[in-house]
Amino acid sequence: MAPDTCCCSAAALRRRLPVLAWLRDYSLQWLRLDFIAGLSVGLTVIPQALAYAEVAGLPPQYGLYSAFMGCFVYFFLGTSRDVTLGPTAIMSLLVSFYTFREPAYAVLLAFLSGCIQLAMGLLHLGFLLDFISCPVIKGFTSAASITIGFGQIKNLLGLQKIPRQFFLQVYHTFLHIGETRVGDAVLGLASMLLLLVLKCMREHMPPPHPEMPFAVKFSRGLVWTVTTARNALVVSSAALIAYAFEVTGSHPFVLTGEIAEGLPPVRIPPFSVTTDNKTISFSEMVQDMGAGLAVVPLMGLLESIAVAKSFASQNNYRIDANQELLAIGLTNVLGSLVSSYPVTGSFGRTAVNAQTGVCTPAGGLVTGVLVLLSLDYLTSLFSYIPKSALAAVIITAVAPLFDVKIFRSLWRVQRLDLLPLCVTFLLSFWEIQYGILAGSLVSLLILLYSVARPKTQVSEGQIFVLQPASGLHFPAIDALRETITNRALEASPPRSAVLECTHISSIDYTVIAGLGELLEDFQKKGVALAFVGLQVPVLRTLLAADLKGFRYFTTLEEAEKFLQQELGTEPNSIHEGAVPEHRSSLLKSPSGP
């Protein structure tokens, strides 16, 4: 018993600390690849973090504060070798909406979101995410890409005093378009063009070949490095240009401005905040954030698990969804101690990680250290970064989130799913939570309708045969009774019927009561209702209910033969309450007949 107990404990520990599963096999080859991948992701996340802080409505340093904790936590708890946790465009948009551009609210939201995510992981509640359908997610992310992208037009053109609410933002952007700063516009558009060119080069780069000459390999490596680190390259170049103008006394660009230097202090999240000589209590802060306490953690989990599953499928390995909940939850809880706002898995940076050949989550350690070094030594230089360059980084990052193909696919495959997609997409421009809630509600109504009105296959003839194409649950029993009554009992003359139950795996009390009443209706009309293809759990339940007139058969041919004869004339007929011996044995089996 002791060795077995020890093995079980070791397996449980490896499940909770996945690092133990791969650390023992770690090699120098893995170290080299993880280092390159971590460095590549680090050069991507630093400029993105600064830019996403602008989307979140927070000072730039908060983007960097949010970019390193996930790297260290995921090293120990992550089950995907590719995923990187940190600030993302979607999460930054949600933070800006629910925290009113107040850092204290953003940090507290990270803490509370992490607690909720941890609780969901410990209670194995990840299945709740399955109720948010793909059309709802696509509708939200597509709307978010437009909201985030258009929100950066003001920085791209150097416009001032533009409201953050989307519709007001659109109106005032076009109203003040004549106030465009030429320097910001030229630099922003040039940065965006360069980013697109480098991205295109990266996507069309030929794969490496062992027989390539050294010069070709070196050139390819150089191009690969430049295109992978394109965000850092463009932002650094823009900062150098801005610095050159600043030292000559010219100010053609709107700059990021002063950034708090050094590492963030380690402290508990703010459970109250004082503004304008007034203290806002914890309960008031929670009330102010409102629906954000549900939307932010759920969307964070959705985004991260979707990224993890996508890359696990591409690279042929499995992830543990509940363990991922724990990883992201603990990241947000610990991140709040260093002034992080809520984070999640980043699709773009995870793609960089995978494409550079990362082998384990150890690549995140390199990324985390790089972010910490930039906080400690480079923050004074970040103040020269033009906002138009950061806007270019954001716009090119969020543009792929708008999924044009999903509209065409749903129109071709399942047009009804366009309804939750469009509802979510349109309402998300008004209020994010309303878009997600309304889209999820429409998806749920579509699901409930399919449960309440399951499709049926009908065979007309002397005997009426009806087969539900899916399960049979209490919302559907009235519709089923109405169909059978109209087609069998109200026919002239009334005719017997067969209910083919192959696809019914469970029934509830309401269904049993409805079937009992239906059997009585058939007896009153002098005809019979037979059941075919009952699975063992359903058969046991119906026999336990002791329904008057209940008859069941193994095959449809058997039932039709019985119903075509006068009841009780054949010795092998199955009468009320009689269960043939060769069928009663089926009740002992745990599986269906």
**What domains are there in the chain, each with its CATH number?**
29-205+219-256+305-401 (no CATH), 404-452 (no CATH), 456-566 (3.30.750.24)
Supply the pLDDT for residue 206: 79
In tens digits, the chain (593 residues) has pLDDT values of 455 555 566 677 777 889 988 988 899 989 989 999 999 899 899 999 999 999 999 999 999 999 999 999 999 999 999 999 999 999 999 999 999 889 999 999 999 999 999 999 999 887 877 788 889 888 988 998 899 899 999 999 999 888 888 899 999 999 999 999 999 999 999 999 999 999 999 888 877 777 778 888 888 888 888 888 888 899 999 999 999 999 998 899 999 888 888 999 999 999 999 877 789 999 999 999 998 999 999 999 988 888 888 888 888 888 888 899 999 999 999 999 999 999 999 988 998 888 888 999 999 999 999 999 999 999 888 999 999 999 999 899 888 888 888 888 999 998 999 999 999 999 999 888 888 889 989 999 998 888 888 888 888 878 899 998 877 888 999 999 999 999 999 988 889 999 999 999 889 999 999 999 999 999 999 899 999 999 999 999 999 999 998 999 999 999 988 888 754 434 333 333 334 433 333 333 333 33
DSSP H or E segment with residue 77:
helix 69-77
Q: How far apart are CA 172 and CA 478, in angstroms?
A: 55
N- to C-terminal Cα distance for the chain? 38
Three-class SS of residue 96? helix
Count Cβ atoms below 10 Å from residue 23 Cβ, excluding itself.
13
- Answer whether 70's CB lies under 8 Å from 258's CB: no
| Best CA proximity match to 490, nearest among 481, 499, 498 | 481
Please state, in angstroms and rounded to a whole number, the distance separating the CA atoms of residues 409 and 176.
Answer: 38
Alpha-carbon 275 to chain mean position:
36
Q: In sequence order, what are the beta bridge partners of 500?
A: 532
Which residue, 104, 52, 96, 61, is CA-closest to 267? 104
Residues constituting the chain: 593
| Half-sphere CA count of 503, side-chain side, radius 13 A | 13
- My answer on whether omega of the bond before 454 falls inside 30° of 0, hence cis, is no
pLDDT for the residue 544: 93
**Closest among 491, 484, 485, 456 to 471, alpha carbons compared:** 456
Q: Identify the three-state secondary structure at position 67.
A: coil
Residue-level pLDDT at 585: 36
- Largest alpha-carbon pair distance within the chain? 110
Contact by Cβ (8 Å): 367, 46: no
- What is the dihedral angle through the alpha carbons of 112, 113, 116, 121, rounded to the nearest 10 degrees? -140
Amino acid of residue 183:
G
Q: Residues 80, 311: contact at Cβ < 8 Å?
A: yes
C-beta separation of 45 from 232 below 8 A: no
Per-residue pLDDT at 511 = 93
**Is 406 within 8 Å of 141 (Cβ atoms)?**
no
List Cβ neighbours of 37 (8 Å cut-off, separation of 6 or more). Answer: 352, 353, 356, 357, 358, 363, 366
Question: What does the DSSP assignment read for 280-310?
Answer: EPHHHHHHHHTTHHHHHHHHHHHHHHHHHHH
pLDDT of residue 239: 93
Cα(257)–Cα(379) distance, rounded to whole angstroms? 10
Residue 442's pLDDT is what?
Answer: 94
Provide the 3-class DSSP secondary structure of residue 128: helix
Q: Which residues contact 485 (CB under 8 A, 6 or more apart)?
A: 518, 521
Q: How far apart (Å, rounded) are the C-alpha atoms in residues 475 and 480?
A: 10
Q: Dihedral (C-alpha) 468, 470, 471, 475: value to the nearest 10 degrees?
A: -80
- DSSP string for residues in 143-168: HHHHHHHHHTHHHHHT--S--SSHHH
What b-and-e string marks burial along 89-128, b requiring 16 or more CB atoms within 10 Å of the CB? bbbbbbbbbbbeebbbbbbbbbbbbbbbbbebbeeeebee
Task: State the pLDDT at residue 180.
Answer: 92
Neighbouring CB atoms inside 10 A of 183's CB total 19
Cβ-Cβ contacts under 8 Å for 169 (sequence gap 6 or more): 150, 151, 154, 162, 163
Both structure tokens of 205 = 């780069």
Lookup: tokens for 78: 């992550």
Q: Which of 484, 481, 501, 581 is nearest to 541 (CA)?
A: 501
Residue 382's alpha-carbon distances to 51, 89, 247, in angstroms, are 11, 20, 16
How much is the pLDDT for 2?
A: 54
DSSP letter string over 509-560? HHHHHHHHHHHHHHHHTT--EEEES--HHHHHHHHHHT-TT--EESSHHHHH
Q: Which helix (H) or strand (E) holds 456?
A: strand 456-459
Output DSSP code: residue 485. Answer: I
- Phi, psi dihedrals of residue 459, rounded to the nearest 5°: -125, 115
